[in-house]
Structure 1
Amino acid sequence: MKVKILTAMACVMLLTSCTDFLEEDPNTALTEEQTFSKLDNIEPLVLGMYSSWRNIQKDRGGLMFQLGTDETQQGAFQVMTTPGQAGLDYYNGFLSQENTALAEQWDSRWPSVHYAAQAIYALNNNTEADAARRSILLGEASFIRASLMFELAQYWGEIPILDQARTKELGYARQPLKDVYTYIINDLKVAEANLPTTQKNLTFPVKYLAQALLGKVFLYAPEASGARDYTQAKEWFGKVITSGKYSLLANYADVFSPDHANSSESLYEFQFNNTYPDNNQIQWQTGSRALANIDQYAYFGGYDLLVPTKYCYSDKTNGGIWEPGDKRKDASIRYDFTYKGITPTIPAGFGGDELDPHVKKYEDIRVDGKQSFWNSGKNKPYIRYSDVLLCYAECLNELGSTSDAEGYVNQVRTRAFGGTLPTGMEWSGLSQADFRDRILDERMRELAFEGWRRMDLIRTGKLVQNVKARNKWAAESGTIADFHNRYPIPLVEIQQNQDIGPEDQNPGY
């Protein structure tokens, strides 16, 4: 069984990665039971889970779920040369259960889910005297299981529930959405109750992050799960807002500067730097191939895996999202490719869009002229305070308090326009329906390329409509359909997991 095989491999990999922390007899190996019997052994293994979670965010794999939206798409050369990957934008026959790009994303998450489940079981049965330490570890393990299950359920729907106390009962079969989201919510409540308000090691989450993710779960949960609840979402986002721990930076561009890493706006960001293996290679994938052809040390060179759609990079007057004076535009998207006085040309055989606008948020000027842009390693945001404000505003609107909701959006927009909202740019007097329509564009302006767009389109029922109209490759193929709101269960999972058969595949695949 694929999930079972991967989780067994995780045990081996995580135990191996933690040998520096463990005192072992050189002629013996710790059994799983011995490993989990002591908090000293569980703690480095929890760290291993978070390292794995971070590493999922790296390089090409960390951008896969952003393909195929109305915000981002693959560059033309990528589409020309990698048909399986291209299927994620074309929504054609290559977006199937045989798609290896998606299978890799499925596979990469289950080991950490499994190990978190093992740790939760062990911690709930641990009898060591240090209750405070045990509680924090339980909060950390619960958070990682919840966060990864939430992501998997958002993209694939019903998924296995890994609970060591119920393995014989549940096995590795897909479970009903109601049960999946019950586990996610319960895990996050355990995390919220046990996590501290600060952590010296920024790899680990804090209480407020669990609160924010709880808000996200109640806001994003499919209607079919029975878990979507705007009142609950509002309450959890409200706890973050009233905590007084977070605030918007005055300058939007500073949010993505290494000089302002882990700022007052950041609830959590994945920690990277310019040194292997802690670099993330995101710029390698998002920059311009034409620049890379000139100089491998050009900090905004790359390979066009992920580029903005025309809708994402255009002004409103040209059918896009950007309003005059919005400083987020130039902080998020590169329009000028002049490097050291040279504007590159597009060589024959390239895709032709290498000098169209590109993602700017992950450019790492620290490597310029010193290291290949493969060494890019700025932190990658997970949840920011502006996202909490916008989500809270959505909840208020859905609960009938549209005028109050406008005030929270205007907080975000005021920063976007440099600290003062120009006349006519404030949100005021909107109907509930108008607010719903406009908030998706506002979220794109504020959160472009940060990984939330596909989920936003799925939860609002806009994926097919918006992608078909705004994603170049999806529009060209014309084959996107409602069943594409879910990804296919990988064929290798069906072949190796005795609890998931062909009949359990998502409809349409």
Structure 2
Amino acid sequence: MKAKIIAFMALAILSASCSSDFLDEEPKSSLTAAQAYGSLGKIEPVLLGAITNWRNMQKDRAGLYTSLGTDEAQQGALQVTGDANQAGLDLYNGFLSQENQAIGQLWNDRWPVIEVAAQTIRALGTNTEDDSAKRDLLLGEASFLRATLMFELTQYWGEIPINDKAKTVEYGLKRQPLTLVYASIVADLERAIQKLPVTQSNPAFPAKGVAQALLGKVYLYAPEASGYRDYAKGKQWFEEVIKSGKYSLLPNYADVFSPDHANSSESLYEWQYNNNWPDNNQIQWQTGSRVLANIDQYAYFGGYDLILPTQYCYKDKTDGGIWEPGDVRKDASIRYDFTYKGVTPTLPAGFGGDELDPHVKKYEDIRVQGKQSFWNSGKNKPYIRYSDVLLNYAECLNELGNTAEAEGYVNQVRTRAFGGTLPAAMKWSGLSQTQFRDQILDERMRELAFEGWRRMDLNRTGKLVELVKARNKWAKQNGTIATFHSLYPIPIGEIKLNDEIGPENQNPGY
């Protein structure tokens, strides 16, 4: 039954993405997989629709859920009191359960897109049209799309089903061992690397570099139990990106998040948005201050406090946080000043009390100021940046015993962070392997805050419970976060609809 629902939702993606001429051939309700994927010309818009749906997962509230409950970000006080399911993501209480609607949305949104990718891969395997270049391109794109979503799902849920149409009888719909899951992801990414071009004319489509970087991440982030944690292979694939010469750091860190520098030399891939529905992302609606929203709906840094930096993320080192004097990333990433049109606002009664605490700044979109609501925010959102590649590469080097070389790559990132000249006191040098491991987590927060990698970083280093309990206000207050929270619960809807996943297959602790 679950397979039929996913297939139906996948066809809905297809129908929404196809041209009216194509839809006129048959009523939507009668489309079959054979018709939908019957030619390269039909597959192309279907795949674009799937990529658009992947982008849409990064929008609005749902695009920020996995950043909550970390040592980097937490909900605003009014949000915690207003939605018990959502609050559970930070409180780690009984509402973080198989009935949690936010968790259910994250799970359910991804499988129809995987279904489209899987159907595309199967159809291209039997396609005999003359345009082999287009067939290879579509195969590379579909393989990347399935891999990136499978990687995300297994990072958050562990063992998951594998949607491979060539092995439907073998795999069915049951959760598969991590070894098989990661083998599938690696195979998809190796195929994507082989088929994807170095550059795409449409930045919405992935190119070779992001597939190489993601494969490097797979080897770095895979759990030891999967058998795929391999620092040498991770190093190899990050090195491919570095040696390609295609990517470089922008000189000014703030420019990375400026619409004037969208799809820059630093971007391996970013999700494409603009200021008009349905292509806006509504991220500012969730990250800005409610105080400013009450003053002016056209204030570009207004919002409703879904996600705020933790104190550890916004404070200086001298005050128990991460920031070092002179690091320009601090003011580019976090808003401390809420002065608007010359007036410093005050906190009204009846609010949560933290609406004028430091807020996320990276996604503020000045283009809407005075013209559109901040709901129309539409800056591109980074997926993988070159600085991320350099830091991951440095981690692999450190784990392989080359700590001094690793420090050099971190210092490339830090040089930009200090305005182009790295003070001697801020240069990484002479660290032990263990010291490097500890410090790289802070460096990744400084460089990549609110870009969606923190939960994975904490899990792969075994630090989730320790650091979240110490630094996340709500998790610390509740005191119930435990080791089993490193994975999300399988949603109750999946258990009810999927005959091959029962209560006995739930992640431990839930």
- The TM-score normalised by the length of structure 1 is 0.99
Q: Shift in Å at residue 23 of structure 1?
A: 6.6
Match of 2:454 in 1: 453
Q: Does structure 2 retain, via aligned residues, the 8 Å contact 1:281–1:374?
A: yes
Match of 1:152 in 2: 153
Match of 2:472 in 1: 471
Match of 2:6 in 1: 6
Alpha-carbon separation, structure 2, partners of 1:31 and 1:497:
22
Q: Shift in Å at residue 337 of structure 1?
A: 0.3
Q: Does structure 1 retain, via aligned residues, the 8 Å contact 2:315–2:323?
A: yes
Q: Which amino acid aligns with 1:25?
A: E
Residues 1:376 and 2:391 are matched in the alignment: no
Cα root mean square deviation, aligned: 1.1
Match of 1:180 in 2: 181
Tell me the matched-pair count. 509
Alpha-carbon separation, structure 1, partners of 2:411 and 2:77:
37
Match of 1:142 in 2: 143
SS at match of 1:190: helix
Alpha-carbon separation, structure 1, partners of 2:95 and 2:23:
48
SS at match of 1:450: coil
Q: Which amino acid aligns with 2:240?
A: K
Residues 305/448 of structure 1: CA separation in 2 closer, same or farther (3 Å cut):
same
Q: Shift in Å at residue 172 of structure 1?
A: 0.7
Which structure 2 residues correspond to residues 183-222 of structure 1 after superposition, within 5 A?
A: 183-222=184-223
Q: Which amino acid aligns with 2:420?
A: G
Which structure 2 residues correspond to residues 77-476 of structure 1 after superposition, within 5 A?
A: 77-476=78-477
Q: Shift in Å at residue 21 of structure 1?
A: 6.2
Q: Shift in Å at residue 313 of structure 1?
A: 0.1
Alpha-carbon separation, structure 2, partners of 1:170 and 1:439:
38
Alpha-carbon separation, structure 2, partners of 1:140 and 1:464:
36
Match of 1:54 in 2: 55
Deviation by residue 1:269-299 (Cα, 9 ceiling, x = unmatched): 0000001110000000000011101110110
Alpha-carbon separation, structure 1, partners of 2:2 and 2:321:
43
Residues 21/485 of structure 1: CA separation in 2 closer, same or farther (3 Å cut):
farther
Alpha-carbon separation, structure 2, partners of 1:248 and 1:27:
49
Q: Shift in Å at residue 433 of structure 1?
A: 0.3
Alpha-carbon separation, structure 2, partners of 1:307 and 1:466:
17
Q: Which amino acid aligns with 1:179?
A: L
Q: Does structure 1 retain, via aligned residues, the 8 Å contact 2:270–2:382?
A: yes
SS at match of 1:366: helix
Q: Which amino acid aligns with 1:103?
A: G
Deviation by residue 1:32-56 (Cα, 9 ceiling, x = unmatched): 2122221000111111110000000
Q: Shift in Å at residue 12 of structure 1?
A: 2.8
Alpha-carbon separation, structure 2, partners of 1:234 and 1:452:
18
Q: Shift in Å at residue 4 of structure 1?
A: 4.2
Segments of structure 1 that go 5 or more residues without pairing to the other structure are none
Q: Which amino acid aligns with 1:5?
A: I
Q: Does structure 2 retain, via aligned residues, the 8 Å contact 1:4–1:497?
A: no
Alpha-carbon separation, structure 2, partners of 1:116 and 1:233:
25
Q: Shift in Å at residue 13 of structure 1?
A: 3.2
Which moves more between the two structures, 338-347 or 322-331? Answer: 338-347
SS at match of 1:47: helix
Q: Does structure 2 retain, via aligned residues, the 8 Å contact 1:68–1:471?
A: yes
Alpha-carbon separation, structure 2, partners of 1:301 and 1:496:
41
Q: Shift in Å at residue 185 of structure 1?
A: 0.4
Alpha-carbon separation, structure 2, partners of 1:86 and 1:220:
27
SS at match of 1:175: coil
Which moves more between the two structures, 343-352 or 356-365? Answer: 343-352
Alpha-carbon separation, structure 1, partners of 2:39 and 2:170:
27
SS at match of 1:22: helix
Q: Does structure 1 retain, via aligned residues, the 8 Å contact 2:13–2:46?
A: no
- The TM-score normalised by the length of structure 2 is 0.98
Alpha-carbon separation, structure 2, partners of 1:497 and 1:21:
36
Q: Shift in Å at residue 423 of structure 1?
A: 2.1
SS at match of 2:424: coil
Q: Shift in Å at residue 58 of structure 1?
A: 0.5
Deviation by residue 1:405-454 (Cα, 9 ceiling, x = unmatched): 00000000000000001121000000000000000000000000000000
Segments of structure 2 that go 5 or more residues without pairing to the other structure are none
Deviation by residue 1:134-191 (Cα, 9 ceiling, x = unmatched): 0010000000000000000000000000011111221111000000000000000000
Q: Which amino acid aligns with 1:344?
A: P
Q: Which amino acid aligns with 1:259?
A: D
Alpha-carbon separation, structure 2, partners of 1:126 and 1:490:
37
Q: Does structure 2 retain, via aligned residues, the 8 Å contact 1:255–1:261?
A: yes
Alpha-carbon separation, structure 2, partners of 1:130 and 1:24:
25
Match of 1:19 in 2: 19
SS at match of 2:9: helix
Q: Shift in Å at residue 341 of structure 1?
A: 1.3
Identity %: 72
Q: Which amino acid aligns with 1:178?
A: T
Q: Shift in Å at residue 346 of structure 1?
A: 1.8
Q: Shift in Å at residue 238 of structure 1?
A: 0.1
Q: Shift in Å at residue 3 of structure 1?
A: 5.3
Q: Does structure 1 retain, via aligned residues, the 8 Å contact 2:11–2:31?
A: no
Residues 21/392 of structure 1: CA separation in 2 closer, same or farther (3 Å cut):
farther
Alpha-carbon separation, structure 2, partners of 1:20 and 1:237:
42
Q: Which aligned runs of 4 or more in structure 1 are off by greater than 4 angstroms?
A: 26-30
Q: Does structure 1 retain, via aligned residues, the 8 Å contact 2:387–2:413?
A: yes
Q: Which amino acid aligns with 1:488?
A: P
SS at match of 1:269: strand
Q: Does structure 2 retain, via aligned residues, the 8 Å contact 1:3–1:110?
A: no
Q: Does structure 2 retain, via aligned residues, the 8 Å contact 1:4–1:172?
A: no
Q: Shift in Å at residue 30 of structure 1?
A: 4.2
